[in-house]
Every structure is written in C-alpha cells, then in structure tokens.
C-alpha cells in the first residue's frame, strides 16, 4: 500500500517550495519558517496514516479485494481518531499561510503569495476530498473483505 504517486509528488513539491521560501529574509522568511514548523509534523502524520489508504482506491474501483488490503484498516481507524487533530492543524496552518501571504504581498512577492494560496487550497482539498476518501476506503474495504470471506481480524 503506497501513497498515490500524484499525491506524493504534490507533497514533495510543496515541501521543496516551502523550503525555498523559508530561505527568504525578513517577514516573508519568518512567516515561512513558522509555517514549516507547523507543516512538518502534519505532513509526517499524513504520510504515515492518512494518505497510504488512498493507494487502494484504484483496486477497490476495479472491485479487487485481497486479505493484505486489511493492513489499511488500522491506518484508517487512526485517521478517524485523529481527524480533530488534523483539522486543528489545518486551521493553524491556514492562519500561518495568511500571514505568509500578507508578508509576501507587502514585500511585492506575488509568486510567494500565490504559493500560500495554493497551499491553502491543497489543505482544503484534503479536508473536502482526500481525508473523506480515505475513510470511505475503510468502509468499502471492510464490506468487501467480509463479503469475500476474508474478514477484518488482524
């Protein structure tokens, strides 16, 4: 079970951009470094348990099921349990992104302000699409494993 390549690439790209922006001086650099401190542990959590179940979506859409897919269920249970934390982190990240966008606008750095807006949109897509999709993976998987006689005991 792997994080879909498109999501992994997007996360890596956002990390690289943030690292580059963090090298800026002044208020823009300060805001970027504060944002990076919030985002790093959040991205680690996403990579650990929120995004890997999405790697099963294509297989589930093809109606494939196998006992090894049950390995995703503890990850999805953790995502459900820690969803309030993930959303609280997103609120803090969005606040830090607003500060970065304001600092970039004040310094005349539209490309950095655009990065802040894109990252805020990424967080929103996680809340609206990716996290719910991961949870649905668990629900569909549980049903299909039971129907296929594989059970969900691990």
Return the HEC string of 100-117.
Answer: HHHHHHHCCCHHHHHHHH
CA–centroid distance for 139 within its chain: 19
User: Which residue has tokens 């970039």?
Assistant: 104
Report d(CA 84, CA 43) in Å as an integer: 15
pLDDT of residue 148: 78
How many Cβ atoms from other residues are within 10 Å of residue 109's Cβ? 18
Report d(CA 76, CA 120) in Å as an integer: 24
Count the residues in the chain. 154
pLDDT of residue 150: 63
pLDDT of residue 142: 94
- Reduced to 3 states, what is the DSSP secondary structure of residue 45? helix
pTM above 0.85, yes or no: yes
What is the end-to-end Cα distance of the chain in Å, rounded? 16
pLDDT of residue 56: 96
Q: In the chain, which residue ranges form alpha helices assigned H by DSSP?
A: 5-22, 26-45, 57-61, 72-106, 110-125, 131-147
| Residues in the chain with pLDDT values less than 50 | 153-154
pLDDT of residue 154: 42
């Amino acid at each position: 079970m792997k994080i879909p390549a498109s999501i992994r690439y997007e996360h890596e790209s956002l990390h690289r951009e943030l690292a580059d922006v963090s090298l800026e001086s002044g208020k823009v650099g300060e805001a970027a470094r504060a944002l990076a401190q919030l985002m790093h542990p959040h991205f680690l959590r996403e990579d650990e348990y929120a995004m890997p179940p999405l790697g099963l979506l294509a297989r589930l859409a093809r109606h494939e099921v196998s006992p090894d897919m049950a390995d995703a269920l503890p990850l999805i249970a953790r995502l459900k349990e820690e969803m309030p934390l993930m959303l609280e982190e997103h609120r803090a990240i969005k606040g830090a992104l607003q500060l970065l966008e304001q600092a970039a606008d004040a310094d005349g750095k539209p490309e950095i302000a655009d990065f802040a807006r894109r990252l805020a949109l990424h967080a929103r897509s996680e809340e609206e699409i990716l996290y719910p999709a991961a949870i649905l993976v668990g629900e569909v998987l549980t049903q299909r494993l039971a129907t296929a006689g594989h059970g969900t005991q691990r």
